[in-house]
Amino acid sequence: MEKIKNLSLRWKFGIVVLLTLFVVILILFLALQGYLNRTFEALYGDPAKGRFIAELLADELESIGDIDSVDSQRTVDTYKELYGVYGVRYIFVLDESGEVNIDTQNRRISQGLIDINNPTSEDAPCKPFSAGNKKYNDCGAPLRLPENAQGVIRVGILKQNPDSSVWQSVKSKHVRGVSAPILLISLLLVIIVTVLLTLAFWFLMVRRIVSISQATERMSFGDLETVVEVQSQDEIGILEEALERMRANLKDAIERLKRRKK
């Protein structure tokens, strides 16, 4: 504590600014993490994630155009592999007649699975169903096909236990992936802002205080000729003005004493 007391004003100011900004960044970072957790749950929680993945895939397949192409099959397989960590267990695409054009199953899609859900409109709900001792959500999204035909994308999602270690690990990785770069950038900005504010404080305040200190030191050694410049009308300016009056009064007093001696 004694070392801090002995620091110069600019260092004390810099430390106060740095600590204040760190506290602000910490509060904002915790708020950001809470927001990211809520957003992640909204996007990838049950059953929203199934509909979200189906809509993403629909947009990508519509840009390809031909659902019978190799590119379409490769895209569907990629989505199955990419989102498997979120519980995706199957993806298949139905054409307007209800025939399966693309699927990620190694076996034929059963009619019972096809009949579980029929999302023909954009607001179609996900349908829950059970298979064995596991529960799933079947979510879909409409798919615009060439020649104004209408298809459907179906995504089967395993219902996740929100408290499971796997789900918590996936969520924390995504939150860290978004928040870590923001935190690093924020810390860099804190350092830059602290340096800039400290320099501004030095220029506006400390430099003038040092100038006053130098003026009083010159006066203590008998230099009453150097005028103390009043740079503003703020508190430091008032101090400069008072010091200048004191210098002028001392000079006049010494000159009067010299004249009396003569």
Q: What is the DSSP string of 9-40?
A: HHHHHHHHHHHHHHHHHHHHHHHHHHHHHHHH
Residue 186 lies inside a defined structural domain of this protein: no
Place of tokens 């001696």: 261
Specify the pLDDT at position 7: 66
Place of tokens 């076996």: 107
Specify the pLDDT at position 45: 63
3-state secondary structure of 91: strand
Residue 126 lies inside a defined structural domain of this protein: yes
Provide Rg for the chain, Cα atoms: 37
Residue 22 lies inside a defined structural domain of this protein: no
Specify the pLDDT at position 162: 58
Residue 239 lies inside a defined structural domain of this protein: no
Specify the pLDDT at position 119: 64
Which structural domain range is residue 122 located in? 46-159
Q: Which residues contact 79 (CB under 8 A, 6 or more apart)?
A: 53, 56, 57, 88, 91
Specify the pLDDT at position 124: 58
Query: Is the Cα torsion angle 74, 75, 77, 81 positive or negative in sign?
Result: positive
> What DSSP designation does 162 have?
T
Tell me the whole-structure pTM to 2 decimals.
Answer: 0.50
Specify the pLDDT at position 164: 58
Number of domains comprising the chain: 1
Query: What are the DSSP E strand ranges found in the chain?
Result: 88-94, 100-103, 127-131, 134-145, 149-158
Residue 241 lies inside a defined structural domain of this protein: no
* Per-residue pLDDT tens digits of the chain, which is 262 residues long: 666 666 666 777 778 888 888 888 888 888 887 887 777 666 666 667 778 888 888 888 888 877 778 888 888 888 888 777 777 888 888 887 778 877 887 677 778 877 777 765 555 568 888 877 888 888 888 888 777 778 888 888 887 665 556 566 766 777 777 778 888 888 888 888 888 888 887 777 777 888 888 888 888 888 888 888 888 787 878 888 888 888 888 888 888 887 877 6
Specify the pLDDT at position 255: 84
Residue 63 lies inside a defined structural domain of this protein: yes
For residue 91, the domain's CATH number is 3.30.450.20
Specify the pLDDT at position 207: 79
Residue 53 lies inside a defined structural domain of this protein: yes
Tell me the backbone φ, ψ of residue 133, rounded to 5 degrees: -105, 15
Q: Determine whether 62 is exposed, middle or buried from the number of CB atoms within 10 Å of its CB (0-12, 13-18, 19+).
A: middle
Specify the pLDDT at position 125: 67
Query: Is the Cα torsion angle 49, 54, 55, 56 positive or negative in sign?
Result: positive
Specify the pLDDT at position 36: 79
Please provide the distance, in angstroms rounded to a whole number, between the alpha carbons at the two ends of the chain: 56
b/e map 167-199, b = 16+ CB within 10 Å:
beebbeebbeebbeeebeebeeebeeebeebbe
How far is residue 246's CA from residue 216's CA, in Å, rounded to a whole number?
Answer: 10
Residue 127 lies inside a defined structural domain of this protein: yes
> What own/partner pairs with CB < 8 Å and gap ≥ 24 does 207-216 have?
208/236, 208/240, 209/9, 209/236, 212/236, 212/239, 212/240, 212/243, 215/243, 215/247, 216/243
